[in-house]
Amino acid sequence: MKTSLCKVEVAVAGFTNEFTHCDQIANYLSTSISLEQPDPFQYSTALSIVLNEVLETLHQSDRPNSMATLEVLTEGRTIHLVLGVEGEDRIVSFYSKIAEEAAPPGDPEELYRTGLLEGPLRRELSVYRLLADHGARIGITRTAPDRAFIDVTVSLDDCIEVAT
């Protein structure tokens, strides 16, 4: 059973105007969520990495006047980051493309490695990194033609292993 650790609603404009807000919000949320964990620093570091990558996708929004929701849920040692976006075809297409490329027989590690070697750096690299290094999975659910939820699921143990 999934347990919600927090749910926030954010103005997308805050991310399209200032890229550093992604890191700041990720650090704030991960620190707050981690306070009651057995090893809060390790948990916070791992969670911050994943949160930051997900929040950075808001930076490329084509609807800066919209709102987005971010919910952090746990299910055992699994973390679910659910990003709810409205009218964000660019963001949904972005995640859909990556999910298709990484699906078998696709290789997330090869996608990440190739992306690093080919210039210029592409926006997909951060999500390829989540897939390759952290074993993340991506699910997309459309609840209406203009509303979608993007679920990025990672194992906490995989995140901690990479972060340390």
Say what the pTM is: 0.83
Q: Are strands 78-86 and 137-144 parallel, antiparallel or unpaired?
A: unpaired
Tokens read off for 140: 């997309």
In sequence order, what are the beta bridge partners of 149? Answer: 84, 141
- Cα–Cα distance list, 91 to 3, 35, 124 (Å): 26, 31, 11
- pLDDT for 19 equals 75
Tokens read off for 119: 């210039």
pLDDT at 143 over 90: no
Which range among 44-48, 71-75, 88-92, 148-152 shows the weakest confidence by mean pLDDT? 88-92
pLDDT at 82 over 60: yes
Of the chain, the percentage scoring pLDDT greater than 90 comes to 16
The rounded mean pLDDT for the chain is 83
Sign of the C-alpha dihedral computed for residues 108, 143, 14 and 32 taken in this order: negative
Residue closest to 137 by CA, chosen among 148, 149, 118, 152:
152
Taking the CB of residue 19, how many other CB atoms lie within 10 A of it?
12
Q: What confidence tens digit (pLDDT) does each residue in 61-70 have? A: 667 788 889 9
- The pLDDT-based confidence of 6 (bands split at 50, 70, 90) is very high
Walk me through the domains of the chain, giving residue ranges and CATH numbers: 3-163 (3.30.565)
Q: What is the mean pLDDT of residues 128-135?
A: 85
pLDDT at 4 over 90: yes
Q: What confidence tens digit (pLDDT) does each residue in 30-48 have? A: 999 888 888 899 889 888 9
Asked whether 70 and 10 are in contact (CB, 8 A), the reply is yes
- The pLDDT-based confidence of 131 (bands split at 50, 70, 90) is confident
40 alpha carbon, distance to own chain's centre: 20
Taking the CB of residue 83, how many other CB atoms lie within 10 A of it?
23
* H helix runs in 35-155, sequence order: 40-56, 89-102, 108-117, 125-134
> To which H or E segment does residue 125 belong?
helix 125-134
* 101-118 residues labelled b (16+ CB within 10 A) or e (exposed): bbeeeeebeebbeebeee
